[in-house]
Structure 1
Amino acid sequence: MSPNVPQDLLDQIRKMDDRLRMVEGRAQIRPALSQILGDVTIGEGGRLIVKTPGGQTILYIGRIDPDHPDGSDQQGLIVRREDGTVAISVWTSAGSGVQPVVIWDHNGKGIFAEDLVGGGLAAPNFGSDAWYGVTEAPAWTTSSTSFVTCMSLPWKKWHPRVQGSYLARCSDASTSGEIRLVDGSGSVIGQATLAAGAYTVSSVTGSVTGTLGGDQFLTWQARVTAGPGTVGVRGLSTWGVQS
């Protein structure tokens, strides 16, 4: 430095030089502009939208159409495949009510969805046909005028309702009866009346009690309402179904 430069000015230049070096050093260690460290909050109705280089939106979080009936914004989530088809959604087309979580196949069919009314699953449907006989003389029949368990099925509850198919018959033209499907708590899921001499295949549908994921036994029960013969019921395919 020139000896004619005042010392205080030299000191200021050195301080500025030190600060410049410090700033340059920090620039080398800070994250790139494409990285964010820590939490990110998008407020005031903002949205997060991710698009492919071709302009296709594949992730959308935030305000979504349609609005709620009162005019307020619906907030939701949609994940799309690269071709634009929806893969996952948390959204309701009505703009009101609880938003279901739905997984969609490539053709737009919902293959997994929660039941918004009764809880548990709306889709897919889980079922079983592993019924086993309880009465054995003859199998699956009774001559009792009170309900008797004819068949049982181990059941794990994942849906709020059950659809149970059955084969039922009355032994002769003078005998009539009733059958019913009962859950593990003794609640009747569905019931059917059998005319005298009936031989029928049908189904009943109704709510099933118990906790989601809980184990229980479903039972088909039968009784004679008139006549000297027997009434029988055999459980067929049984499915958990939505509300």
Structure 2
Amino acid sequence: MGVDAGTPPGLFERIRQMVRDEVAKLLRSGLLRSASIGEGGLTLRGGFFRMRNAADTSNAFYIGAVTPAQPDGTPQPGWIVRRADGTNVLLLRDAFPENGPDGVHQALSWLDRTGNTVLADDTDSGQGLARPYVPIVFYRSRNSDWPTVTGGDWQTVYRAKAPKQQPRLLVRAFAGATDGSTSGELRVMINGTQHGSTQAVVGATVGEFIFGPDAVAGSHMSDLSVEIQARVTAGTGGIRVSPSQGEGRQS
């Protein structure tokens, strides 16, 4: 009976190494064109993920370590989105991590093409916006200074023009009669359609009236003409009116 030749030492390990080397070559060859993960996920520890533009001149999208590093030298994780021309459009990072009293405070910033921040959260306080600055509108506090409507027909006292940027609109207005025996009504019109309900103004006590927030007709960025109107319904005096607030609201 014949005797089988012995297996050379380390043969199986050499075979496994050959398989690993060939798989590594395949991955480096760029043959991977499409892939999906049905379960689980992809985890990077200390690395980065990036998508290059078609010309391979800059990163169109990058997730990984961003500058500057944290005060102790630890890389600051963040992400960057660039336009086709290579300019930054979105950044998630802390531009001055050494100034933070309790660690890195990263902000999400939207930049214009010249690098100015046009939208960002206030990361140091942890509340609200850093940009843009939102204006505050002042109104006259003395009702004797407000415009007065004396007729029985609807009269437009205030008008505002604006593009429609949000689906709903809120309007607030103060109103009161010039004397206790006079009463009237207040309403808001948008492009000729009433917004909210008609509000009764009774007597000389000034009240604040709220219209909405209700849906506004029209497509995004269509022109809106917002009017605050008043009329006298009883008495010989007038109705004084002042706007107090107007703003778009989400749905």
Give TM-score, length-normalised by structure 2: 0.49
Give TM-score, length-normalised by structure 1: 0.50
